[in-house]
Structures are given as structure tokens and as C-alpha cells.
A and B are shown apart, each in its own frame.
Chain A
Amino acid sequence: MLMLSFLMRQYIQYAFLIGIALSVSAALLSPYLVLNQQSLITDGLAHVSFTGLILGILLADQPFYVAVPFVVLAALIIKYLSTKKTMNTDAVIGVVSAVAFAIGLIIISQSSGFNRVIEGMLVGNIFTVTNTELIFSLLVLVAIAWFVLRYYKPLLLVTYDLEYAKFAKIRYQFLGYGLAVLAALLVVIGVRTIGTLLISSLVIFPTLVASQFCRSFKSVLLCGVGLSIVVTILGIFSAHYLQTPAGSTIVVLYAIVLLASFLVRPLLRKGDA
């Protein structure tokens, strides 16, 4: 009982709520981004988000009010440019995120008092979540869950076979922009809590691990969500007791699970044969 008494503290409850909301949101987007070689968009948007939040701190009471439209706009630009045949998607992500990050660093160099803010945004802090951030993360979860459930099969078709999706008159552009905007919203809230350098791992790991064992797309999606909840809860517990950053702890736990899945997978396949 004594061990669990810390759960009565509000900041711990907020940390679990926002951690689970973020990890489930990320796991829901995960297969559509990872299996379509678009997972780096979250990494790129995290760099953009860094600048968005810096601008937000300078220009508004709530950094989100500036950061959200800033990052959503960047996501739309990345998506638009990647549909043009003049640049590869990874190059577009690299250019947009580097430019945005550079602008952020220039702003910081010309201002003062940002040192602690920068550290906080690079590694995140899930134990200092505000009411606004919690509500925003829950709204993002609802939006992502609705989008994935509503467009589950068209999204799968676009991810697996874009040519056939175009033939079947699936609104692939709408779905692509939708995913980009939702990834942007996830990243903005994730940068504050998980950290700029780590938020993309919440998107990448669930599908990487689940696809080692799962045979169908649906099971990859569901296993990814389940896995993300378990790892996030264990990660926050561990971070609290070990006094380590929660985001980093969650990522290290994911890495251990991935490594274990690589080791166990051949044994399972041997059993199948």
C-alpha cells in the first residue's frame, strides 16, 4: 500500500493520464506511418514543435496557442511538398524541420532565460503537466481514435497499396493530410511531456515490436496499443522510483521489449514450422 500511495498525488495521476493518452494516440497512428515509411515525419515535426513552443512562450500566455497552428502548418507544408515529384518525402522532412529548428535556435540566441525551458523541451517532463495540456492530450486522443476507426479500411488500403487505393477512388490525399495534421497535434503535446528528441519513438516502437509477432494488420494495431499502455505505465512507475526522466525511461523500456522480441521471434517461428 505504501508503495502505491504516491498514486494519490495529482501530478502522478496527471502523468499517467497524459502518458497513456499520448502513447495510445501514437500507437494508433503508428502502423500507418511506420509501414508507409513515414515515421520520420514525427521526428521532423518534433523539431518544428520546439520552435513553435519557443515562439509560443515569447508571444502568448499559453505556448500551445502559437505552437499548434505553427506545427500544423509545417505538417501541411511537408505533406504538400512531398506530393510534388521534385523532392523525396525524407528530404522534405529534413529541410522543413532543419529550417524550423534553426529559426528556434536563432530566437533563443537573441533572447535570455531560455536555458531551463530548452532542457525541459529536449527531454520533456511528464510530472509537470498542466490542466490545459491534459485536456489537449485527451482531445487529441479522441480525434485520432475517431479518425482511425472511421477510416480504418481506406487507411489500410492507402498504406498497403496506394495504386489500388487510387483506382478505388479512395480520398488518399485527404487521408494523408489527416494523418499529418493528427501527427502534428500529437507531437506538440508530446514535446512538452516526452521530449523533442524522444516523441517519435512512441510512434515507431509499437509497430516495430507488434509486427514481430502479429500476422494481420488489425492485430498489429491492437497489440501496438496494448503494448504502448503497458510500457507507458511501467515506464512512469520506473521513472518515479529511479528518479529518471519518464520519456527516456519509456523509450529504454521499449528498446528492451524490441530486443527481446527480436530474440524470441526465431523461437516462435521454429515452433510454427
Chain B
Amino acid sequence: MIRAENLSKVYGETKVLHDVSFLLPPGELLYIVGPNGSGKTTLVRMLVGLVKPTEGTINIHTDKIGYLPQRMVYKTDFPITVQEVIEGGFACTPQLSKQDKRALILEWAKRMEIEALVDRPMGTLSGGQQQRVYLIRALVSQPDLLVLDEPTSALDPEFRRKFNDLIMEMQHKQGLTVVYITHDLDEAVDPESLVLFIDKTVGFFGTQHQYREGHPHAHA
């Protein structure tokens, strides 16, 4: 469960978020939508502890959080393999043995269709392949809460659909709570998934079905 109450964030004199509140029950899938500069990324960075709110509080039911940051351009000449990148995801679960970690990495690499690339240098992968690596890094620690900031931005349409199906499956079968920033609500297949529309403050919070029925931004 995520309980966000009266969250505000101010940088200097710029108000990035104002009085944002919502309650996300465990096992739910929440899509966060809104225009560019609306504070979506600031909000999820607050959820994962990277940004402190100027005002307000956040309570989260678990410490086991997986996080995929907004897509960044990494140094392609950095000598690091796919496996070494994914191992960063075990930073919060160091108790796993080396063999268990390798097995988990290979299992996820297979699901993400990059099993042949595990020992390759990151710099030789395409943007979409790199994005899958970072997704695996977010998932290998077997989180209870998964926070994704535009996870499918670099993926091709076919894998984008597969990825969204996978997230839905994990949410339904494993009770994973998911917070998912997207620009494209067409990715949200389940009409009962939740939508939070923000433009510095909350413009809408409810099911996707309600959002499409009654919110002017839904078809923008």
C-alpha cells in the first residue's frame, strides 16, 4: 500500500508538485499520466526515496522496491557486461548466493528475450536491449512494489505489448504493486487499473475506465 498525503515539492521558487494525495492498495497497478513537466518523475522519485517532499508524507507497505529510472544515456564506452549491470539490482538483497543470482539473471534474461546477451558488454547493445537490461535489474530483487518511469519508451511495439502483459501477469499472479509512468494510456490493457493524472497537482484519480469515460485529458 502507498499512502501519499499532501505532497508538495518546491525547488527554489518553482513549485513542482502541490498537495498531491492518493492511496494505492497493495497489488494494484497505477498509471501516472500528465503533460511534460507536470511532476510525474518528481513524484516517483519521492516514492523511491530519491527526493524528499517539501511538505507531506509518504507511507509504503514494503522496503522491497524495484525501480526503473527514466531512460538515461549511459556511457557506451564504460566497460561493463550485462550481468554486471543486472547484479546492481541485488544491492538490496545481498544474501543470495552467487549461483542463485546467476540463475535468476538467466531466468529473467530468457523472459526478456536477451539470454544470449548476458555476457556481452552493455555498450554493444541497442537502446531497446539496454532498456530490457535495466528492467531486469529492477525485477531480479523480487520486489513487492515496482516503480517504472516510462519503461517502454525505447522498446519496439511488439516487445512493448509483451512487457505490459508480463507486468499485468506479475500483478495478478504475484500480487505485485506497480506504479507506472506512461505517456500512452493505450498501454493500459486492464480497465480496472488505476490512473493518476497530475499536472503539478492531482487532476484525476480513479480507474482507467472512469478516466476514459469522464476525463477531458483521456483523449487528448
Contacts and interface: CB of A to CB of B under 8 A. Distances in A.
A211 B92 contact: no
Contacts of A156: 80, 84, 88
Contacts of B79: 31, 35, 210-211, 214-217, 219-220
* Interface size class of chain A, counting residues whose CB lies under 8 Å from the partner chain: 20 to 34
A98 B78 CA distance: 31
Contacts of A31: 79
Interface stretch (A53-61, A133-141, A162-170): A162-170
Contact of A169 (B87, B92, B119): B92
Given A163-B50, A216-B121, A168 B88 contact: yes
Contacts of B77: 211
A217 B85 CA distance: 10
A6 interface: no
B185 interface: no
Give the residue among B77, B79, B92, B120 with the most A Cβ atoms within 10 A. Answer: B79
Given A215-B121, A216-B84, A217-B80, A164 B92 contact: no
A165 B67 CA distance: 11
Interface string B40-82: 0000000011100000000000000001010010110111110
B96 interface: no
Given A214-B79, A216-B81, A168 B121 contact: no
A168 B92 CA distance: 6
Interface string B7-30: 000000000000000000000000
B87 A153 contact: yes
Contacts of B116: none
A18 B53 CA distance: 51
Contacts of A35: 75, 78-79
B69 A163 contact: yes
Given A169-B92, A220-B79, A160 B85 contact: yes
Contacts of B81: 215-217
Interface string B110-124: 000000000111000
Given A167-B50, A215-B79, A216-B79, A153 B91 contact: yes
A161 B121 contact: no
Contacts of A168: 88, 91-92
Nearest to B147: A167
Interface in A158-198: 160-161, 163-170
B23 to A, nearest CB: 23
B143 to A, nearest CB: 12
Nearest to A216: B81
Contacts of B75: 35
Given A215-B79, A215-B81, A216-B121, A167 B74 contact: no
A157 interface: yes
A233 B197 CA distance: 65
Contact of A160 (B67, B78, B83): B78
Contacts of A161: 74, 88
Given A161-B74, A167-B67, A154 B91 contact: yes
A166 to B, nearest CB: 6
Nearest to B87: A153
Contacts of B120: 215
B88 A157 contact: yes
Give the residue among A164, A215, A219 with the most B Cβ atoms within 10 A. Answer: A164
Contact of A217 (B84, B91, B119): B84
Interface in A206-233: 210-211, 214-220
A87 B133 CA distance: 34
6 contacts: A153-B91, A164-B69, A167-B48, A215-B81, A216-B80, A217-B80
Given A164-B69, A216-B79, A216-B83, 20 more contacts: A31-B79, A35-B78, A153-B87, A153-B91, A154-B91, A156-B84, A157-B91, A163-B50, A164-B88, A164-B137, A166-B50, A167-B69, A169-B91, A215-B81, A215-B120, A215-B121, A216-B81, A216-B84, A217-B81, A217-B84
